[in-house]
Amino acid sequence: MRTTLINGRLILPGGIGETGYVVIEDGKIAAVEKGEPAGPLSGEVIDAHSLYISPGFIDLHTHGAGGADFMDGTVEAYLTVAETHARYGTTALLPTTLTCPDEELFHMFDVYTEAKARNTKGAHFLGIHLEGPYFAYSQRGAQDPANLKQPVPEHYMKILEASGDIVRWSIAPELPGALELGRLLKSRHILPSVGHTDAV
């Protein structure tokens, strides 16, 4: 399978707007070139009519789309979110949680595993982004204060043992124990991220 996008304004690391074309072979980008293709083209040819041709977006913090939320706790919600994002240019994303009871969080881990296996049409799931529950009360925003906690090993080790899909974890670094958790996450190749914090 070969598809060529022609007459597009390329978004490249060195600049935006030069006319060029993109060749896709077997679902992968095989070439990105400025100007016009030389010679006849095989396979499907799509004329971009001077619209932008952009790399796919990667969303590192998203709770949902298309009327569905990852915390809905269903595979159908995950697939709806993934397919909606794909329609608007996001090719990969991190499903993001809210602070919630542990039972709900662990159920979300199970749903993620099943949804990832069934996701054939939407933006790819690259792993889970945990948001909380280790946040400053004064900066909680929409997080349910009943579920905010302090980062203690007895709690966060349970979470880490429940899922191998966590790739990013947002926490307030000023909380007692937060820096120790951050170092542990780094050692496990999980990105510690600052969020909902009173730190200045």
Residue-wise pLDDT for 50-74, tens only, equals 999 999 999 999 999 999 999 999 9
Looking at the DSSP assignment, which residues form a beta bridge with residue 45? 4
Query: Do the strands 44-47 and 64-65 form a parallel or antiparallel pair, or are they unpaired?
Result: unpaired
Percent of residues, the chain, with pLDDT higher than 90: 92
CATH 3.20.20.140: which residues of the chain? 57-194
**Which pLDDT score, from 0 to 100, does residue 39 have?**
84
**Residue 27 pLDDT:** 86
The string of pLDDT tens digits covering residues 162-196 is 999 999 999 999 999 999 999 999 999 999 999 99
Residue 122 in this model has a pLDDT that exceeds 90: yes
Task: Give the CATH class of 2-53.
Answer: mainly beta
Whether pLDDT at 135 is above 90: yes
User: 66: closest CA among 51, 48, 87, 96?
Assistant: 87
- In 3D space, the residue among 116, 110, 122, 117 whose CA is nearest the CA of residue 81 turns out to be 122
CATH topology classification for 57-194 = TIM Barrel (3.20.20)
Question: How would residue 9 be classed by pLDDT, with cut points 50, 70 and 90?
Answer: very high
Query: Do residues 78 and 112 lie in contact, with contact meaning Cβ atoms separated by under 8 Å?
Result: yes
d(CA 129, CA 136): 18
Q: What is the per-residue DSSP string for 160-187?
A: HHH-S-EEEEEE-TTSTTHHHHHHHHHH
- Cα–Cα distance list, 179 to 74, 172, 174, 183 (Å): 33, 9, 8, 6
What is residue 30's predicted lDDT score, i.e. its pLDDT? 95
Span(s) in the chain for CATH 2.30.40.10: 2-53
pLDDT at position 59 is 98
